Structure 1
Amino acid sequence: MQGKAIAIENDIRGLLRNFGLKVGNVGVVKFEERIRELIDDMADLQEVMDPLLTARRKLREEFSRLHNKVLDMSRNDEMCRLLMTIPGIGPVVSLAFTSTHRHSAAVQELEGCWTDTGADAEAQRVGESKRVGCISLCGDAMMRTLLYEAAQTLMINVRKWSWLKAWAMNIAKRRGMRKAIVALARRLAVIMHRMMSDGTEFCWRRDDLPAAS
């Protein structure tokens, strides 16, 4: 729904651009207000924009409703709350992971879709070819995307330092940011599965990690 709403917003921007009208940098809340401001004295454009804005508003409303439902579900799920102690892991990622990867076999399949770009930077075979720091098409596609986005969030937006971010930053220095994010996404899957198995919260310092980690 969010994707469809964004597509409509982009269509609206494109249509208005044909008339020399620039929407500019405006947030979700002020978007419709800005559009109506631009077409205030253009009756023909208003007739075209009204159904697009109505459809966009409905999609945004339904997205907000469903998103709030996801938030409530994650808050009421003990395992989701546990996984959200990991930096970069929010309600959507935690709920998706607990819903689709409660069994170790599923996590092993997911892990197989990420090639290893860790300390050894060893290439793993994918079919007949070798890939380093890339993503194959194994496992759950939505979960791969969510883990990649969580890794990006941890690398770019999370300011609090942790051993996990330091580990990924070291890879970024040697192999580049993209490969570091791929490696971090894979490690997040491993950590989340481990935490689901033993019920422990995320350790921010390496000194606090169990001896086997």
Structure 2
Amino acid sequence: MSGLTIGVDIAKRFFQVHVIDGNDQVLTNRKLRRSELLAFFEDLPPSLIGMESCGAAHHWARELIALGHEVKLMTPKYVKPYVKRGKNDAVDAEAICEAVSRPTMRFVAVKSVDHQSVLMIHRTRSLLIRQRTMLVNALRGHLAELGIVAPVGIERVGELVDRVLGHEGDELGVPPLVRSIVKTYTRQITIVTDEVKQLEKQLRDWHRTSEASRRLATIPGIGQIIATALAATVANPEAFPSGRSFAAWLGLTPRSNSSGGRERNGRITKAGDRTLRTLLVLGATSVIRRVTSGRETPLYGWVKRLIETGKPPRLVTVVLANKIARIAWAVMTGKVEYQPERAALAV
């Protein structure tokens, strides 16, 4: 390396770069247009470049790595303590430059285009599911005004629609305008549902080509959806020193508020990737539902003992999600499939 350390503050049109040499002397702190960024770095010797992690950061990191530079991405909240008085692009770039040189700084692995594509499918799927939920809730709300209700659940929407458009609707005297609105909602829900199924098919196809995703799917509570999300998000599991560190990164560990030798642990931190954390909690819920089915495994036995101690069900779910995250880390770092006999052990 040349001894240059550079902080880059990313934006849509303009980028601020802060450059220091090996003696911590500021060489430049200037603003560049988007079209000028790569040309600026082409003229520099291989350098250490720091950027805050965001969607566009991974693209620019790949471009700068191709030019021979070393690029490190950081979570914005880890950079914030290095921001001095005030806040503007120049101050932010200086803070990034300082943060990237800290020996204790934690970095985010640069994602490949393939991994970002899979995560884009996941985000699109989540968006469509939220939109479908909004449509279903709106439909239920409108029909409830007329006294027409059905049990909750996406699978019961068809029953609700049949009550309006079928013979029962004639008996209830549902107005033609209401029937028209119901048809509109039904058409939109069907379109969104078909799009979700298509996205899930794409995830299944990618799952078959990913060795890491297939290994993760052998873990109880992790299906193809969660496996693909984990494999695409965690590009470098070795960056985490332990399974507990990985679970902490996902926000599944208790928040510590200790002082004066008194240990106080509160609710989970909910830091890190919200989507992954939510998926793991859902996976843990599915495991707990199967615990009472009579099937006995070391992991199920461990969960059953927790339940028998009288722990609140939600607490058991989160604790199990934490353990599943640790198991997933062990599977990813060890490049092995799930081993039931070791599942109940601490990771």
Shift of 1:67: 1.3
What is the DSSP-based 3-state SS (H/G/I as helix, E as strand, rest coil) of the residue aligned with 2:256?
strand
Aligned residue type for 1:125: S
Give the alignment's Cα RMSD to 1 decimal: 2.9
Instruction: Find out whether 1:125 has 2:256 as its counterpart.
Output: yes
Pick one of 165, 190, 193 that aligns with 1:36.
165
What is the DSSP-based 3-state SS (H/G/I as helix, E as strand, rest coil) of the residue aligned with 1:157?
helix
Give the conservation status (yes or no) of the 8 Å contact 1:5–1:59: yes
- Aligned residue in 2 for 1:119: none
Which is richer in strand?
A: 2
Q: 1:21 to 1:179 in 2, by over 3 A?
A: closer
Greater RCO structure (CA 8 Å; 6+ sep): 1
- Aligned residue in 1 for 2:140: 13
Of 67-76 and 81-90, the range deviating more from structure 2: 67-76
Pick one of 274, 282, 297 that aligns with 1:141.
274
- 1:29-63 Cα offsets, whole Å, 9 max, x none, are 83544442254563121222232222212111111
Shift of 1:111: 2.6
Q: 2-side partners of 1:131 and 1:189: how far apart? A: 20
- Aligned residue in 1 for 2:201: 68
Of 104-113 and 145-154, the range deviating more from structure 2: 104-113
Give the conservation status (yes or no) of the 8 Å contact 1:155–1:168: yes
TM-score by length of 2: 0.51
Q: 1-side partners of 2:346 and 2:149: how far apart? A: 57
Aligned residue type for 2:330: R
Of 175-184 and 107-116, the range deviating more from structure 2: 107-116
- Aligned residue in 1 for 2:299: 164
Runs of 4+ in 1 over 6 A off after TM superposition: none
Instruction: Find out whether 1:111 has 2:238 as its counterpart.
Output: no
Shift of 1:141: 0.6
Instruction: Find out whether 1:193 has 2:329 as its counterpart.
Output: yes
Shift of 1:23: 3.4
Q: 1:23 to 1:42 in 2, by over 3 A?
A: farther
Give the conservation status (yes or no) of the 8 Å contact 1:110–1:138: no
Give the conservation status (yes or no) of the 8 Å contact 2:136–2:157: no
Instruction: Find out whether 1:205 has 2:338 as its counterpart.
Output: no
Which is richer in helix?
A: 1
Shift of 1:89: 0.8
Shift of 1:152: 0.8
| Count of residue correspondences | 202
- 1:110-150 Cα offsets, whole Å, 9 max, x none, are 4352236xxxxxxx615889335x32121111111011111
In structure 2, runs of 5+ residues without a counterpart are: 1-127
Q: 1:24 to 1:185 in 2, by over 3 A?
A: closer
Q: 1:6 to 1:19 in 2, by over 3 A?
A: same
Q: 1:36 to 1:130 in 2, by over 3 A?
A: farther
Q: 1-side partners of 2:208 and 2:327: how far apart? A: 20
What is the DSSP-based 3-state SS (H/G/I as helix, E as strand, rest coil) of the residue aligned with 2:264?
strand
Q: 1:52 to 1:70 in 2, by over 3 A?
A: same
- Aligned residue in 1 for 2:92: none
Q: 1:39 to 1:96 in 2, by over 3 A?
A: same
TM-score by length of 1: 0.80
In structure 1, runs of 5+ residues without a counterpart are: 117-123
Aligned residue type for 1:181: T
Aligned residue type for 1:7: M
Instruction: Find out whether 1:52 has 2:185 as its counterpart.
Output: yes
What is the DSSP-based 3-state SS (H/G/I as helix, E as strand, rest coil) of the residue aligned with 1:114?
coil
Aligned residue type for 2:253: T
Shift of 1:167: 1.4
- Aligned residue in 2 for 1:101: 234
